[in-house]
């Protein structure tokens, strides 16, 4: 790379924010063309602030995936997630505000007000446009939002189908400062293998569990060590009550076995080696509403 090219590089941080379940993590994975954040149809799957780094010949965009901002829930875990999202808004060069096409809720309005306070350049992303029938319904919705709010740009996309992502990437890139690269070109995320392993296990649990149980469990990697070309991983699945433990284990251990098999296969694809995965389910009473318990499980500001 020449010095002229280096001097015209645009590099910076773009926080992807919004209420739960609008597709923020799916969008980042699609932009990176690689899975850095777990996803599920259930809201508030993302709990931590995660960096996804996209390096091209003329730019480096550091996407900041954030938990869904939810003002209705007051448990300590939710307060932690809201703080993580709010902090990201303050620390970036551009905010990517994701909403669902044709839907604007009171939650969206509160997130919008929080973004306005930051005075950061803001791109509004209308996600899930593939579900809009007919597409002509989008124009009045876009016009109304443009009149009501002072966005730098409004970009309709479908993260799931990869529609219009180049336009979004271009809009973000144009609002980043000229700068040297912030991370090595081959770096994809700031999260290590232990974090990734724990999140993959949690994703498989979320996909198989119903009602409130996914929101009352956390995964902790107790051991992760390579021996004889095999990655040996021991993980604890923390729940809050005995009934939840029984649900996670399943009848004759069947659900836990399915989760382990699915997580192990994805880890082997990701880590490029055989994985020996062992899971235990343990109880930590009301951990999701206890700041000290949250800190012990890695939920740190």
Take residue 93 and report the two structure tokens written for it. Answer: 């060069």
pLDDT at 7: 62
Residues 226 and 176: beta-carbon distance below 8 Å? no
**Start-end of H helices in 24-74:** 24-32
Q: Which domains does the chain have, with CATH numbers?
A: 3-173 (3.40.50.300), 193-296 (3.30.300.20)
pLDDT at 249: 97
pLDDT at 1: 52
pLDDT at 219: 97
Q: How far apart are CA 65 and CA 151, in angstroms?
A: 20
* Residue 93 DSSP label: S
pLDDT at 206: 95
Tell me the β-bridge partners of 17.
97
State yes or no: cis peptide before 134, omega within 30 of 0: yes
pLDDT at 6: 57
pLDDT at 301: 65
Print pLDDT tens along the chain (301 aa): 555 455 689 999 999 999 999 999 999 999 999 999 999 988 889 999 999 999 999 999 999 999 999 998 889 999 999 999 999 999 899 999 999 999 999 999 999 999 999 999 999 999 999 999 999 999 999 999 999 999 999 999 999 999 999 999 999 999 999 999 999 999 999 999 999 999 999 999 999 998 778 889 999 999 999 999 999 999 999 999 999 999 999 999 999 999 999 999 999 999 999 999 999 999 999 999 999 999 999 897 6
pLDDT at 76: 94
């Amino acid at each position: 790379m020449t010095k002229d090219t280096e001097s015209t590089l645009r590099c910076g941080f773009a926080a992807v924010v919004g209420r739960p379940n609008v597709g923020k993590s799916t969008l980042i994975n699609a932009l990176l063309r690689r899975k850095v954040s777990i996803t599920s149809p259930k809201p508030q799957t993302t709990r931590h602030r995660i960096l996804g780094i996209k390096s091209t010949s003329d730019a480096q965009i550091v996407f900041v995936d954030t938990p869904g901002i939810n003002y209705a829930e007051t448990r300590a875990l939710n307060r932690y997630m809201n703080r993580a999202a709010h902090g990201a808004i303050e620390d970036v060069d551009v905010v990517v505000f994701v909403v669902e096409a044709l839907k604007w809720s009171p939650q969206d309005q509160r997130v919008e007000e929080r973004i306005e306070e930051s005075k950061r350049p803001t791109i509004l992303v209308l996600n899930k446009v593939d579900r809009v029938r007919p597409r002509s319904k989008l124009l009045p919705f876009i016009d109304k939002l443009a009149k009501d709010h002072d966005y730098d740009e409004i970009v309709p996309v479908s993260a799931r189908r990869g529609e219009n992502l180049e336009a979004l990437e271009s809009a973000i890139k144009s609002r980043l400062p000229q700068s040297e690269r912030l991370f090595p070109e081959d770096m994809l995320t700031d999260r290590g293998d232990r974090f990734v392993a724990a999140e993959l296990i949690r994703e498989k649990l979320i996909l198989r569990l119903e009602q409130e149980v996914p929101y009352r469990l956390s995964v902790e990697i107790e051991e992760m060590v390579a021996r004889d070309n095999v990655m040996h991983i021991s993980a604890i699945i923390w729940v809050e009550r005995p009934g939840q433990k029984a649900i996670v284990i399943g009848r004759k251990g069947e659900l836990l076995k399915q989760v382990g098999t699915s997580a192990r296969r994805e880890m082997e694809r990701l880590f490029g080696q055989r994985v020996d995965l062992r899971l235990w389910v343990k109880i930590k009473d009301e951990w999701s509403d206890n700041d000290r318990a949250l800190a012990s499980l890695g939920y740190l500001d």
